[in-house]
Amino acid sequence: MRLRALLDTDALGLRLLGGEDELDRAVRGVMTTDLRDPSRYLSGGELVLTGLAWRRDAADSDPFVRILAQAGVAALAAGEAELGDVPEDLVLACARHRLPLFAVHESVAFATITEHVVRQVSGERAGDLAAVVDRHRRMMTSGPAGGGPDVVLDLLGSDLDLRAWVLSPTGRLIAGSKVAGPALPAETCTRLAAEHLAASRTGRRGPHRVQLSGTTYSLFPIRSSGRSPQAARDVRETVLSDWLLAVEADAGDWPGERLDLLQGVTQLIAVERDRRDAARTVRRRLAQEVLELVQTGAAPAEIAARLRVAAPVLLPGLGAAPHWQVVVARVEWEGGRQVDGGQVAQSLLEEVLVDPLATGPEPSDRIAVAHTGDEAVALVPLPSVTAEHDGSEAGLLADSLLQAVREPLSAGLDDDGRLTLGVSAAVHSAEGLRGALEEARHARRVAAARTGRVCAAGHQELASHVLLLPFVPDDVRRAFTARLLDPLKDYDRRHRAELIPTLEAFLDCDGSWTRCATRLHLHVNTLRYRVGRIEQLTGRDLSRLEDKLDFFLALRMS
């Protein structure tokens, strides 16, 4: 496909602003971006669509155009919806770098251009699906008439007899065909996401085929911003944020034409993903501003003013000022390889916190997440009714946040990454945000002291003894727990005596023989025998407070 053909397509409404001598360039793809440096997602030959959100002043145009030219893109198309006429400095920059420049009229959606390019580049391979997409262009519109990914999934079911669903990397069901029958069970969604992330980490090209309960699914990655599998510098930067298309079929025996059709569908759905990401821009900016004010010690009145701006954006229609919680997340990778952990943590936190408190059928996206360095910080509004008391039990709980997403995230992190998360108590004023941020950060450090790829801790766990654990060297913790618990573990392994569960229950019951025996469904004499065996193997006395505390700490650190 040539640029000249795009210019000659009246329905696209493109106006040439420069580069007439370059109109015979071939277009091999399309990408929508407002990143200041999108080079990592470019492979050459793209038509780049931009709303110019990256441009703050005239000096920004030349660096942006230089990056595109060096990446070998075919042309740049700038939308007029936000700024009106395309700035002259951008026109001059494109002329200097011999990059053709088009203006996109405000009445034309980028989705319309994306769909046209995808269909034309696919050419004769588009076949039956191209006809489907052509009849339902409304899916790609951003107005009320657009149906989002559900529409194209319905068409896959009705026209091509394919049951398909769009899932998030954590296994959240984003869209599904109404003709596909009942929604996928949550457990199946989680398993599919985990299998997809594990396969993606190996670098294998999709689709990935998975068999669950006798049913075969083919999993296609949905990459935002039109990036190709080779575009990202490190798969770990994107694998934990990409959506996936799960199709109930075995794509292993599909012809190349059918595979290309489904790849085209993922590009169409990626437009919806980009639209949703763009909608988060305002919330991210608000979170960044509040975070900077809190970290620089700004006056509470100034922070409160920003919160008053944030409240209606995050909780539309809220009558009273909300209470707030702070959630801190960190993604760390082993091996010393450089990955932007802050952005990865930001994407993950936005996904984990989608609809954390809502009870209705539609997902809510009301949190704001900023990132600084390798850390992501979320500002979560809570309706004030949830915190009428002291806030100690109100709002989000750390364990419940990660309960449903541990399996897929662990697969995506594989054996060289960790996600740790800390949750603060609810606060009701700007004065409390600084303390909430520090509380969430310390809770995250408590989570980091534990074993496992995905760990979380909440403010309830910041008791005096736990505060010390993250600062105990790893080798000291390992030696302490091994000396105290290994004899019991070895005995359990040889005799199936369940001494470790008995010890945990005995400590949870504060050393009460009756309550512990009832909990374990044991006779008190049997319990006394087990506790005696624990004391014999370890040389400790469970009637002594010091020994009880040692066992308690060893169990917490194991």
Q: What is the CATH number of the domain that holds 521?
A: 1.10.10.2840
Q: Which of 40-54, 201-215, 221-235, 327-341 has the highest mean pLDDT?
A: 40-54
Rg (CA), the chain: 28
Of the residues 436, 470, 504, the one at which a domain ends = 470
The three-class DSSP label of residue 423 is strand
The dihedrals phi and psi of 101, each to the nearest 5 degrees, come to -130, 130
Alpha carbons 66 and 555: distance in angstroms, whole number: 57
Residue 129 inside a domain? The answer is no
Residue 131 inside a domain? The answer is no
Alpha carbons 258 and 254: distance in angstroms, whole number: 6
Percent of the chain clearing pLDDT 90 (strictly above): 21
- The CATH number for 71's domain is 3.40.1390.20
If pLDDT is split at 50, 70 and 90, which confidence band does 180 have?
Answer: low
**Residues 492/498, Cβ–Cβ less than 8 Å:** yes
Same domain, 346 and 369: yes
Same domain, 259 and 298: no
Same domain, 100 and 204: no
Same domain, 314 and 224: no
Same domain, 295 and 409: yes
Q: Which residue from 343, 342, 346, 366 is spatially nearest to 354, judged by alpha carbons?
A: 366
Task: Dump pLDDT digits (tens) for 394-421.
Answer: 567 777 777 767 777 777 777 677 888 8
Same domain, 345 and 423: yes
Does position 447 have pLDDT exceeding 80, yes or no?
A: yes
If pLDDT is split at 50, 70 and 90, which confidence band does 142 have?
Answer: very low
Task: Dump pLDDT digits (tens) for 255-289.
Answer: 777 787 788 788 778 877 777 777 777 778 888 88
What single string gives the DSSP state of each residue in 333-398? ESTT----HHHHHHHHHHHHTSSSS--SSS-----EEEEETTEEEEEEEE-GGGGSS-SSS-S--H
Looking at every residue in the chain, the average pLDDT score rounds to 79
Alpha carbons 264 and 258: distance in angstroms, whole number: 10
Same domain, 465 and 340: yes
Same domain, 444 and 520: no
Residue 134 inside a domain? The answer is no
Long-range own/partner contacts, residues 493-502 (CB < 8 A, 24 or more apart): 497/530, 497/533, 498/530, 499/530, 499/533, 499/534, 499/537, 500/555, 502/527, 502/530, 502/531, 502/534
Range of the domain at 148: 140-278
Residue 427 is classified by DSSP as B
- The CATH number for 247's domain is 3.30.450.30
Residue 229 inside a domain? The answer is yes
Say which amino acid occupies 260.
D
Length of the chain: 558
Residue 381 inside a domain? The answer is yes
Number of domains in the chain: 4
pLDDT at residue 389, as a whole number: 41
The three-class DSSP label of residue 128 is helix
Q: Which of 133-147, 268-282, 347-361, 512-526 has the highest mean pLDDT?
A: 512-526
Same domain, 315 and 463: yes
Residue 117 inside a domain? The answer is no
Of the residues 108, 124, 149, the one at which a domain ends = 108
Say which amino acid occupies 254.
W
Least confident interval from 70-74, 78-82, 471-475, 551-555: 471-475
Same domain, 446 and 326: yes
Same domain, 446 and 504: no
If pLDDT is split at 50, 70 and 90, which confidence band does 125 have?
Answer: very low
